[in-house]
Amino acid sequence: MHTSALVLFSGGQDSTTCLAHALQRYARVETIAFDYRQRHSVELDARLVVLREIRAQFPQWAPKLGQDHLLDLAVLGSVSETSLTRETAFRMESTGLPNTFVPGRNLLFLTLAAAVAYRRDLQVIVTGVCETDFSGYPDCRDDTMKAMQLALSLGMDKRFLIETPLMWIDKAATWAMAHDLGGQPLVDLVVEHTHTCYLGDRVHRHAWGYGCGECPACLLRAKGFAGYLTESTPA
Ligand code: ZN
């Protein structure tokens, strides 16, 4: 029986939904994120606001929400040339992957998360990776997660479960999941306080939240929100 979890929590829509999922399910939940000198600190700022709002608005979850861990991962910026850490435009590479792909990033995140989970005696690692939408990042694949679960469990001689609540659902369903977990207050919290936009835009406010409205992350979020509204409105 699993009772404790560590959530990879970036302050975006997906990881906030995963955090709510974990708080609904486990008695003790901690959060972790990585500072790898992202182009914008907006997401890292957003996560503290989201944690504060969850504590304030969801008294049933607040007592379960424990320590937050922010690990310095500057080295990642120095090994990879990507548009997440450099001032370059977004484009598709000849590999078929967008240049937002940071090779090995999730593998590194999971390894460090497992080390923290080991130290904090947390059983489940929750991550918002998803095979359904958009990028096809190979380190978000279900097979990759299963392989990491095995490698980390063997390598640390501790049975970890890597849980991926969003793996097979699209963005519209992610909004619906937030609603199932925390009702309209959680949907409103996700809209207002989570951050997704690649350009770090917190100026332009849309029905689905803040963002430039044009980068791939904004387009995906907007499309998902529109789909969610359509599906959740009775015909
Ligand atoms: Zn954007």
Number of domains in the chain: 1
Q: What is the pLDDT of residue 81?
A: 62
CA of 84 to the centre of ligand 1 (A): 12
How far from 100 is each of 45, 123, 232, CA to CA, in Å?
Answer: 20, 30, 32
Q: What is the pLDDT of residue 186?
A: 98
Number of H helices, E strands in the chain: 7, 7
CA of 210 to the centre of ligand 1 (A): 8
How far from 109 is each of 6, 35, 86, 154, CA to CA, in Å?
Answer: 12, 11, 20, 17
CA of 16 to the centre of ligand 1 (A): 18
CA of 62 to the centre of ligand 1 (A): 31
CA of 36 to the centre of ligand 1 (A): 20
Bridge partners, residue 5, by sequence: 29, 124
CA of 221 to the centre of ligand 1 (A): 9
Q: What is the pLDDT of residue 89?
A: 60
**SS (HEC) of 49-62:** HHHHHHHHHCCCCH
Q: How far apart are CA 83 and CA 215, in angstroms?
A: 12
CA of 15 to the centre of ligand 1 (A): 17
Q: What is the pLDDT of residue 75?
A: 85
Token pair belonging to 160? 């970890």
Q: Tell me the CATH number at 166.
A: 3.40.50.620
How far from 32 is each of 18, 72, 96, 212, CA to CA, in Å?
Answer: 12, 11, 30, 27
Q: How far apart are CA 122 and CA 113, in angstroms?
A: 10
What is the domain range of residue 20?
4-232
Q: pLDDT 10s digit of each residue in the chain, 235 long?
A: 899 999 999 999 999 999 999 999 999 999 999 998 776 678 888 999 999 999 999 999 999 999 999 999 888 877 766 555 555 566 666 666 666 667 888 999 999 999 999 999 999 999 999 888 656 678 889 999 999 999 999 999 999 999 999 999 999 999 999 999 999 999 999 999 999 998 899 999 999 999 999 998 999 999 999 999 998 876 5
Angle between helix axes 13-25 and 171-193 (nearest 10 degrees) is: 100
Q: What is the pLDDT of residue 192?
A: 97
